[in-house]
Amino acid sequence: MTNATVRDAAREISAWADGLFHGLEDLERKLSAHLTADFAGEPPFEVGRKARAALGVDVADFLGAHSGFDGAGLIFKLDLLEPSTARIEWWITDGDDIARRDFILDRSSDRFYDYEYLEWFEGGFNAGTRTLAGPYIDHLGVDDYIVTLTVPCHVGDRRVGVAGIDILMNDVESQLIRMLAPLGHGAALLSRHNQVLVGNSGELSTGVRIAVMPPGFSRLPLEVAGVDLSLLYRDDES
Amino acid sequence: MSQAFRYVLASHGSSGPFGYGDALADQIVSAISLGSISVGERLPAEIELAGEFNVAVATLRKSLALLRDKGIVETRRGRGGGTFIVRVPFPSDEQISTYLASLSIVAYRDYGDEHTAIATGIARLACQRAHSQAISELRHAAQRLDEASTLAECSAADSRFHTQLGVVSQSPRLLRASMRLQSEILALKWSPAGAAAQKSEVLADNAEIVEAVAAHDIERAERAVEANIRKTVYSLIDVKLTIESNGADPLTVE
């Protein structure tokens, strides 16, 4: 395999990931602008009816314009919200429609969606960086096998939560498998945990953790601002 | 799924022990609590379910509305919508005894075989696939049991831990199988009339699983989950034999 082939594939995959985050950052700016009035002063905050309707319109536009996303919206740091009305502002695609999705945020419930310790919230909110989390099974969330991308969400100077998008692993796979194809059999996109997001061989299938670099393979970090992704490929000639 | 409902109805008669003041709601809850249908599963379509219980659709809707109010089922619209089981009510001691007596030793052993096969498979994959973040999420799930006080809370927290282990395995299919198997055993494991699990002991068992996964030690993790299931199943068989040697007639306990 030539260096040029690897570089081209790396560039295409980096552009794909960077494009997803740029789209998400645009969405975050649009959505957070609707919260200025409701999130003025001191917490607890409450997303009012008017703001919620505006969020819904923008998320629906976003999901309509970017096919292949399972859902998108805002997720807040829970203790900033008024407990009795706390919700995740999340919408999912449902065929040609967009539907609101509710989650159980009652801490005493057996089915409480305990998200603040999950990687996408830890990264997007606590670390305050672009975060690509997964692949993971979003139990009690959307209950699907997905990746979630998040960026911090700010209203004024205050970080209030994250903006995020979900992509089903089936869809991530169909997009990436095409970009990996020029690298031949045995190439994979790895997460920051060296876990396979998508790979094009059985040994490198989604979810496999590469604990030790296999012989005959090389790893190239991708240049995507703020995100630690790398490309694993066969390097038999060396 | 509908076959499972038939099985429970045949062995437990028509009056459920939950006392919701609605015989049909009681019957459905009996089926759920004994694991014939699991948390996360979708109920059959209303028309099919009404046929199963031999009632009018309107009657069924009234009972489902009651169960919705009690937080036992939840109706979701849109993609993948329907009526889902969201909570297993904790059964009474009498109900547990009746149920234990009604099953053969072979049925328990076979349950244990299936659960062991699935759970060791999950443990193996979790050891291979868990990264540092996944391990910290598993520790977080194990922590819940420490904070639980009632039996129902302990059982729910134990369930969340094993569910999280399934999440760490990265296999949606194994996770579903594990949730089905857990909902069959959890009430029996924690009930004083069943295996009477002790919180301190289960905390130690789960901690051993977490440490094995964190160490990526497949054999140790498999051994831990297998011992865990065996302990519960053996103790349920002992309880069942005790009930029988005491001469209790399972059909009159209710």
Nearest CA of chain A to the CA of B163: how many Å? 8
pLDDT at A110 over 50: yes
CA distance B189 to B99: 13
How big, in percent rounded to 5, are the helix, strand and coil portions of chain B? 70, 5, 25
Of A114, A117, A135, the CB nearest to B170: A135
Q: Which pLDDT belongs to residue B156?
A: 85
Rounded distance between C-alpha atoms, residue A77 and residue A85, angstroms: 14
* Contact assessment for residue B74 and residue B215, using Cβ atoms and an 8 Å cutoff: no
Under the banding of pLDDT at 50, 70 and 90, the label for residue B16 is very low
Whether A136 and B167 lie within 8 Å, measured CB to CB: yes
User: Which residue among A117, A122, A139 places its CB closest to the CB of B167?
Assistant: A139
Measured CA to CA, the distance from residue A155 to residue B153 in angstroms comes to 38
Q: Judge whether A190 and A196 are in contact, CB under 8 Å.
A: yes
d(CA A231, CA B173): 28
**Any chain A CB within 8 A of the CB of B122?**
no
The residue length of chain B stands at 254
Tell me: pLDDT of A221 over 50: yes
**Phi/psi of residue A38, each to 5°?**
-70, -25
Mutate: best of A100, A139, A147, A168, partner B, most B CBs <10 A: A139
Which of the four pLDDT bands, split at 50, 70 and 90, describes residue A106?
A: confident
pLDDT for residue B143: 94
* Residues A211, B86: C-beta atoms closer than 8 Å: no
* Chain A touched by B128 (CB under 8 Å): yes
Which chain B positions have a beta carbon within 8 Å of A93's beta carbon? Answer: 79
Q: Are A84 and A121 in contact (CB under 8 A)?
A: no
Residue A215 has a pLDDT of 94
State the pLDDT at residue B7.
32
Under DSSP, is residue B90 helix (H, G, I), strand (E, B) or coil? coil
Chain B residues inside the 8 Å CB shell of A111: 86-87
Chain A contact residues (CB < 8 Å to B): 92-95, 97, 99, 110-111, 114, 117-119, 122, 135-137, 139, 143-145, 193-195, 206-209, 211
Buried b (16+ CB within 10 A) or exposed e, A25-36: eebbebbbebbe
Check CB contact under 8 Å for B172 and A111. Answer: no
Report d(CA B157, CA B145) in Å as an integer. 5
Residue A30 pLDDT grade (very low, low, confident, very high; cuts 50, 70, 90) = very high
In the block, which residue shows the tokens 């969020």?
A: A55
- Across chain A, mean pLDDT equals 94
The size of chain A, in residues, is: 238
> Which residue in B78, B128, B132 is closest to A99 by CB distance?
B78
CB A124 within 8 A of CB A136: no
Chosen from B70, B86, B129 to mutate, greatest number of chain A CBs within 10 A: B129
Contacts of A210 in chain B (CB under 8 A): none
Q: What phi and psi values does residue B22 have, to the nearest 5 degrees?
A: -150, 110
**For the residues of A50-112, what is the DSSP string, one character each?**
HHHHHHHHHHHHHHHHSTT--EEEEEE-GGGB-GGG---EEEEEETTEEEE------TTSTT-
> What is the tens place of the pLDDT at every residue in B194-221?
999 999 999 999 999 999 999 999 999 9
> B75-110: per-residue pLDDT in tens?
887 666 788 888 777 888 888 888 888 888 999 999
Interchain CB distance below 8 Å, A117 and B140: yes
Tokens of A173: 């796979």
Confidence of residue B19 (pLDDT cuts 50, 70, 90): low
Partner A contacted by B124 (CB < 8 A): no
Instruction: Give the gap in angstroms from C-alpha A235 to the nearest C-alpha of chain B.
Output: 24
3-state secondary structure of B240: helix
Chain A residue numbers with beta carbons less than 8 Å from the beta carbon of B174 are none
- Strands, sheet with A89-94, edge to edge from the N-terminal-most edge strand: A97-100, A89-94, A71-76, A158-168, A145-155, A131-137
**CB-CB: which of A97, A118, A209 is closest to B137?**
A118
Q: A123 CB contacts (<8 Å, ≥6 apart)? A: A129, A130, A131, A133, A150
Which residues in chain B are contacts of A137 at CB distance < 8 A? 166-167, 170, 172, 175
Question: CB distance B79–A95 less than 8 Å?
Answer: yes
The C-alpha of B104 sits at a distance from chain A's nearest C-alpha, in angstroms, of 31
Contact list in B for residue A118 (CB cut-off 8 A) is 137
Cβ separation of B137 and A117 shorter than 8 Å? Answer: yes
Task: Write b or e for each residue in B124-146: b if 16 or more Cβ atoms lie within 10 A of its Cβ, otherwise e.
Answer: bbbbbbbbebbbebbbbbbebbe
Beta bridge partners of A166: A71, A148
Q: What's the pLDDT tens digit per position in A130-157?
A: 999 999 999 988 889 999 999 999 999 9
Q: What is the largest CA-CA distance in chain A?
A: 63
Please write the tens of the pLDDT for every residue from B102-133: 888 999 999 999 999 999 999 999 999 999 99
Measure in Å the smallest separation between the Cα of B132 and chain A Cα atoms: 8
Q: Which residues of B touch A211 (CB under 8 A)?
A: 216
Nearby residues of B138 by Cβ (< 8 Å), 6 or more positions away: B126, B130, B161, B164, B165, B168, B210, B213, B214
Which residue in chain A is spatially nearest to B166 when comparing CA positions?
A137
Q: Smallest Cα–Cα separation from B27: which of B65, B67, B86?
A: B67
* Option in A139, A207, A208 nearest B163 (CB): A139
Other residues' Cβ atoms within 10 Å of the Cβ of residue A4: 8
Pairing of strands A89-94, A97-100: antiparallel
Band (pLDDT 50/70/90 cuts) for residue B162 is: very high
